[in-house]
């Protein structure tokens, strides 16, 4: 060993001993160095926001109530706020003008999705904006029309027979319909996507439905919990981090069987001969791998099963909470349907049901966080720098609770969406399904199923809460994204006929 080397070894061992003896000093020194490095490496001229502390960034400002957090950030820093959540840069957008700029007029610049924490393979909808995404979005929109929108009424009406029979069996006892609603949606999805109509209490339906909810919850943790953005958190929170991929691999097994069945059938077929949406995807996007097709089908199922269930349950809860509103819909139904079960031909007489759904999502925006986008390259907004890796979050409550846009915005009032007897809302003032080129492809599906379900359930039942759960309006409104307490509320379904 040369003398320089042994000097270095000596020096290091001296230092180690010194820091070992003065570990508090060492820790402080480390934190200060880390902080200085973070500050030096941080991009310049970002939108304003809370100051960063080591490891936590600006996330110390966040609580478990995003509505309150947003309100405070907006008041303090203005329409564009940057917060380092651990080491991720989030940029919250609080104005209609800026949200429109990011999602519509400069939509092409801000179309990349935030996908790195999701346990899926390179799925169609997760691709960065570009030719590949455009092609796949076009295909999926066409297939959606052909295989879903053309059959949705029939399939939903069949499943509604099962659902109302099951609810009839509850004999006006207090029940939580959540699992039943999820089985109902899973039944519809299996019919629509795979041409398989299963009984509503089928074991596989139940399992797939439950896995869909699990994967949603597990991946939401990834999106939102600041804890998981902190460096080294994966060591501490390994269980939570691993969970999504475990759930996804269970789900894939169910979808893989369907994939294999189709593989032999599609030989030599052209797209117009496909008999369901999975077959069509396999023929039309033949360059996708097996796992990409499977994951695309799973992604298309999560919202259609889990989000739909939450949305519908929330609507039912509001109906129980506002008996007068429910009574009005009962009257409209009785007038328009002549004692027959309602279907889409009655929709124009029952605009109030569609309006109820819009108002439910306006006040209780269950999916807004999934509209987070990122710029496709380093760019600017309002003169501030927006780096490529920033996550932009449109804060829908800044529009949905703006009294200038929705007068008396705190009030639950479906009729605000009805003008001259017709449903009416401005696309760029309603964010629940997203806006711009990357907005939700399932919006019509979602609204049609919810319409048919509420019409049918109210045709047959009066829905009420137990007195205990007749909580105040404030609580209904400030639901938090992942506080599913609303979903734990039980309801009574009393037969009307």
Ligand X SMILES: *[C@@H]1O[C@H](CO)[C@@H](O)[C@H](O)[C@H]1NC(C)=O
Pairing of strands 384-386, 379-381: antiparallel
Q: Nearest 5 degrees, angle CA 473-CA 400-CA 357?
A: 65
Q: How far apart are CA 316 and CA 326, in angstroms?
A: 10
Q: How far apart are CA 473 and CA 398, in angstroms?
A: 20
Q: Which residues pair with 381 in a beta bridge?
A: 384
Q: Which residues contact 473 (CB under 8 A, 6 or more apart)?
A: 321, 412
How many Å separate Cα 423 from the centre of its chain?
24
Task: Restricting to residues 155-194, name those near ligand X by CB under 6 A.
Answer: 157
Task: Restricting to residues 357-416, name those near ligand HEM by CB under 6 A.
Answer: 361, 366-367, 370-371
Please say which residue, 337 or 371, places its beta carbon nearer to ligand HEM. 371
Minimum CB distance to ligand X, residue 330 (Å): 17
Q: Which of 212, 429, 389, 376 has its CA nearest to residue 304?
A: 212
Residue 91 dihedral angles phi and psi, to the nearest 5°: -120, 115
Please say which residue, 78 or 442, places its beta carbon nearer to ligand HEM. 442
Considering CB distances under 5 to 8 angstroms, the limit depending on partner class, which of ligand HEM, ligand X, none binds residue 219? none
Should residue 440 be labelled a site residue for ligand HEM when binding is judged by CB under 6 A? yes
Tell me which residue has its CB nearest to ligand X: 340
Number of residues that bind ligand X (CB under 6 A): 5
Q: Which of 277, 285, 337 has its CA nearest to residue 149?
A: 277
Minimum CB distance to ligand HEM, residue 447 (Å): 8
Should residue 425 be labelled a site residue for ligand HEM when binding is judged by CB under 6 A? no
Please say which residue, 69 or 153, places its beta carbon nearer to ligand X. 153
Should residue 185 be labelled a site residue for ligand HEM when binding is judged by CB under 6 A? no
In Å, the largest CA–CA distance within the chain is 100
Should residue 303 be labelled a site residue for ligand HEM when binding is judged by CB under 6 A? yes
Considering CB distances under 5 to 8 angstroms, the limit depending on partner class, which of ligand X, ligand HEM, none binds residue 441? ligand HEM
Task: Restricting to residues 130-159, name those near ligand HEM by CB under 6 A.
Answer: 137
Residue length of the chain: 497
Considering CB distances under 5 to 8 angstroms, the limit depending on partner class, which of ligand X, ligand HEM, none binds residue 433? ligand HEM
Considering CB distances under 5 to 8 angstroms, the limit depending on partner class, which of ligand X, ligand HEM, none binds residue 345? ligand X
Of 23-31, 230-238, 305-313, 468-476, the segment contacting ligand HEM by CB under 6 A is 305-313
Query: Is residue 189 within 8 Å of residue 254, measured between CB atoms?
Result: no
Coil/strand/helix, residue 438: coil
How many Å separate Cα 403 from the centre of its chain?
25
DSSP-assigned letters across all residues of 141-204: HHHIIIIIITTHHHHHHHHHHHHHHHHHTTTT-EE--HHHHHHHHHHHHHHHHHS----TT-HH
Q: How far apart are CA 247 and CA 243, in angstroms?
A: 6
Considering CB distances under 5 to 8 angstroms, the limit depending on partner class, which of ligand HEM, ligand X, none binds residue 439? ligand HEM
Task: Restricting to residues 334-353, name those near ligand X by CB under 6 A.
Answer: 340, 343, 345
Should residue 194 be labelled a site residue for ligand HEM when binding is judged by CB under 6 A? no
Considering CB distances under 5 to 8 angstroms, the limit depending on partner class, which of ligand HEM, ligand X, none binds residue 340? ligand X
Say which residue the tokens 């509604």 belong to: 160
Considering CB distances under 5 to 8 angstroms, the limit depending on partner class, which of ligand X, ligand HEM, none binds residue 343? ligand X
Minimum CB distance to ligand X, residue 150 (Å): 12
Minimum CB distance to ligand HEM, residue 371 (Å): 4
Please say which residue, 63 or 340, places its beta carbon nearer to ligand X. 340
Torsion sign over Cα 230, 233, 234, 235: positive
Considering CB distances under 5 to 8 angstroms, the limit depending on partner class, which of ligand X, ligand HEM, none binds residue 303? ligand HEM
Q: Which of 63, 35, 377, 313 has its CA nearest to residue 184?
A: 313
Q: How far apart are CA 463 and CA 320, in angstroms?
A: 5
Minimum CB distance to ligand HEM, residue 5 (Å): 57
Should residue 314 be labelled a site residue for ligand HEM when binding is judged by CB under 6 A? no
Query: Is residue 119 within 8 Å of residue 244, measured between CB atoms?
Result: yes
440 is in an annotated binding site: yes
Q: How far apart are CA 157 and CA 145, in angstroms?
A: 18
Please say which residue, 210 or 441, places its beta carbon nearer to ligand HEM. 441
Please say which residue, 87 or 439, places its beta carbon nearer to ligand HEM. 439
Should residue 337 be labelled a site residue for ligand HEM when binding is judged by CB under 6 A? no
Annotated binding residues, written as ranges, equal 440
Binding site for ligand HEM (CB under 6 A): 125, 137, 300, 303-304, 307-308, 311, 361, 366-367, 370-371, 432-434, 438-442, 445-446
Q: Annotated binding residues for heme, as ranges?
A: 440
- Chain residues that interact with ligand X, rule: CB under 6 A: 153, 157, 340, 343, 345
């Amino acid at each position: 060993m040369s003398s320089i080397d042994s000097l270095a070894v000596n020096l290091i061992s001296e230092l180690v001993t010194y820091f070992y003896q003065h570990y508090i000093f060492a820790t402080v020194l480390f934190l200060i160095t880390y902080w200085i490095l973070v500050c030096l490496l941080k991009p310049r001229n970002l939108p304003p926001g809370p100051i960063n502390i080591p490891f936590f960034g600006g996330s110390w400002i966040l609580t478990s109530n995003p509505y309150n957090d947003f309100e405070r950030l907006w008041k303090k820093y203005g329409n564009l706020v940057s917060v380092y959540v651990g080491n991720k840069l989030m940029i919250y957008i609080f104005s209609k003008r800026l949200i429109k700029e990011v999602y519509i007029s400069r939509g092409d610049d801000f179309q990349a999705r935030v996908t790195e924490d999701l346990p899926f393979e390179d799925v169609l909808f997760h691709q960065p904006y570009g030719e590949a995404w455009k092609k796949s979005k076009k295909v999926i929109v066409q297939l959606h029309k052909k295989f879903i929108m053309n059959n949705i009424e029939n399939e939903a009406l069949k499943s509604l027979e099962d659902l109302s029979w099951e609810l009839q069996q509850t004999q006006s006892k207090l029940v939580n319909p959540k699992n039943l609603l999820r089985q109902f949606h899973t039944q519809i999805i299996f019919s629509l996507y795979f041409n398989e109509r299963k009984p509503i209490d089928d074991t596989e339906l139940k399992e797939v439905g439950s896995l869909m909810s699990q994967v949603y919850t597990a991946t939401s943790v990834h999106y939102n919990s600041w804890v998981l953005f902190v460096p080294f958190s994966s060591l501490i929170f390994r269980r939570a981090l691993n969970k999504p991929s475990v759930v996804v691999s269970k789900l894939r097994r169910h979808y893989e069987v369907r994939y294999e069945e189709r593989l032999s059938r599609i030989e030599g077929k052209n797209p117009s001969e496909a008999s369901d949406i999975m077959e069509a995807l396999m023929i039309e996007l033949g360059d996708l791998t097996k796992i990409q097709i499977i994951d695309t089908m799973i992604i298309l199922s999560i919202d259609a099963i889990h989000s739909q269930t939450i949305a519908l349950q929330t609507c039912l809860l509001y109906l129980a909470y506002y008996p007068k509103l429910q009574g009005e819909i009962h009257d409209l139904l009785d007038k328009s349907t002549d004692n027959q079960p309602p279907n889409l031909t009655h929709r124009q007489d029952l605009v109030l049901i569609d309006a109820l759904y819009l108002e439910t999502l306006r006040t209780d925006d269950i999916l807004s966080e999934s509209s987070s986008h990122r710029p496709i390259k380093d760019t600017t907004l309002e003169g501030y720098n927006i780096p490529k890796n920033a996550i932009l979050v449109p804060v829908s409550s800044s529009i949905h609770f703006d009294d200038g846009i929705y007068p008396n915005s705190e009030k639950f009032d479906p009729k605000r969406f009805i003008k001259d007897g017709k449903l009416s809302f401005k696309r760029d003032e309603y964010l629940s399904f997203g806006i711009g080129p990357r907005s939700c492809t399932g919006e019509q599906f979602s609204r049609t199923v919810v319409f048919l379900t509420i019409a049918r359930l109210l045709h047959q039942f009066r829905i009420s809460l137990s007195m205990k759960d007749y909580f105040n309006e404030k609580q209904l409104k400030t639901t938090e994204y992942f506080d599913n307490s609303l979903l734990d509320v039980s309801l009574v379904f009393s037969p009307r006929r």
